Amino acid sequence: MPTNFADPAGPQRVFALTDCNNFYASCERVFCPHLTGEPVVVLSNNDGCVIARSNEAKAIGVKMGEPAFKREDFFRANKIHVFSSNYALYGDMSGRVMRTLARFTPDMEIYSIDEAFLDLGHMFGRNLDELGREIRDTVKQWTNMPVSIGIGPTKTLAKIANRVAKKHPEQGGVLDLCPLLGTPAMDRLLGKVEVGDVWGVGRRYTAMLARHGIFTARALRDVDRDWARRKMTVGGLHTVLELRGTSCIDLEHAPPPKKAILCSRSFGRAVRVRSEMDEAVAAYASRVGEKLRAQNSVASAVMVFIMTNPHKKTPQYADSFSLPLPVATAYTPTLMAAAQECLARIYKDGYIYKKAGVMLTGIERAGGRQLSLLDLPPSDTPRQEALMRSMDAVTAKWGRGTLQYAATGLGRPWKMRQLRKSPRYTTCWDEIPSVS
């Protein structure tokens, strides 16, 4: 007999996970409706690998992560529309979707660029399936973005519901698991979900569970609580309880600050001279500074790495160097100067470089930095902070690159190759679509 984990009083919480379908590919279709029904793929930085596919591209055999240059003939033969990554467009479309979702609930967690959890507990008693379809239709009407919605008494079950809704067209893009809690129908559904597809169960736990004969979400739900805690720690126990319908994972209203921030790119063409490498490292240091300030943090160390192309039959070299800062800071000129000093320690002439990166570590909250009596903040710190706020405000309003440091270069021949990039329809005046 199946174990009945249902609360007789009904679920105490109701979560909905809204997930944009094939997000990057769908963004490309928003302003190109003639692509509807056509196979679409989006490539990674430097037009390297496939990172997004429409359902039509999946159906004809395009694999995630495969190198684009190996499939050029296949793309042409199957009339596949290929796009370079357009992160300005994707970020703006994500913001439009999230603002639309926020109209339905005051309590929302933006989980990723294309996913958000909604707390629908205040709407308990309403037909949640109808509400999910209203949300889906509204997002489609206002943004032209197709979404799938999974509803459940826990975030883990909402994730599973979303996955089923997306993979089974007969669900119409929406599935509510709340009425199924504690029923044989829920047992059957969880029995078809592989344990590795359960939110929070990674590769290591999947392998461990398989050794104990646990292959499905249903089998994981039914394990002993003490066993789950011993084998999978408290996080694993929470997953088990969430599968039973007990909410243990609440919404996160602000993402936790990152402990390390990295900006790394493969060059659009190989870098052979020091001046171009200087520009690239300065540009990457500027970008990590923006990210650092966005989470109101400072960093106490800068690390730079450079490398050649391991896939080329040319002399190989790779190295990195980390430099501690006297005082933790988010001031871009200081970060750039440290990055340039790191580069000077490791750069060698005579090599053909493929990639470089700048990483910040020792990150802490800006208001809580640790100082010693010998390392007091410089007297112009308020001026530095005011300058950074002004530059960040200009970037936020007018776009990245509106203001930039001379050290990052003007022509940037090393920048990413994006030969198939669509216009920035929503964020650049010169690229707004026109109607004739």
pLDDT of residue 416: 66
pTM equals 0.77
Does position 398 have pLDDT exceeding 90, yes or no? no
Does position 342 have pLDDT exceeding 60, yes or no? yes
Distance CA 209, CA 203 (A): 10
Half-sphere exposure for 28 (CA within 13 Å, toward CB): 25
pLDDT of residue 382: 83
All residues at 6 or more sequence positions from 116 whose CB lies less than 8 Å from its CB, including other chains: 17, 18, 97, 98, 101, 108, 109, 110
Query: Please, which pLDDT band fits residue 327 given cuts at 50, 70 and 90?
Result: confident
Q: Which of 54, 29, 32 is nearest to 41 (CA)?
A: 54
C-beta separation of 153 from 14 below 8 A: yes
Q: How many CB atoms lie within 10 A of CB 346?
A: 14
C-beta separation of 133 from 220 below 8 A: no
pLDDT of residue 298: 92
DSSP letter string, 315-359: ---EEEEEEEEEEEE--HHHHHHHHHHHHHHH--TT--EEEEEEE
Distance CA 94, CA 280 (A): 28
Q: Which of 62-76, 121-135, 154-168 has the lowest mean pLDDT?
A: 121-135
pLDDT digit string (tens) for 233-268? Answer: 999 999 999 999 999 999 887 677 788 999 998 888
Q: Which of 214, 159, 169, 158 is nearest to 191 (CA)?
A: 214
C-beta separation of 148 from 21 below 8 A: yes
Q: In angstroms, how far is CA 189 from the centroid of its own chain?
A: 28
Would you state the structure tokens that stand for residue 111, as one six-digit string? Answer: 């989980």
Q: How many CB atoms lie within 10 A of CB 399?
A: 13
Query: Please, which pLDDT band fits residue 374 given cuts at 50, 70 and 90?
Result: low
Distance CA 353, CA 336 (A): 20
Half-sphere exposure for 211 (CA within 13 Å, toward CB): 6
Residue type, 347: Y
Phi-psi region of 22 (alpha: psi -120 to 50; beta: other; left: phi over 0): left
Query: Please, which pLDDT band fits residue 80 given cuts at 50, 70 and 90?
Result: very high
Q: Strands 115-119 and 108-112: what pairing?
A: antiparallel
Would you state the structure tokens that stand for residue 362, as one six-digit string? Answer: 């020792």
Q: Which of 32-36, 42-46, 163-167, 427-431 has the lowest mean pLDDT?
A: 427-431
C-alpha distances (whole Å) from 177 to each of 31, 139, 155, 368 are: 34, 21, 11, 44
Does position 8 have pLDDT exceeding 50, yes or no? no
Distance CA 53, CA 39 (A): 8
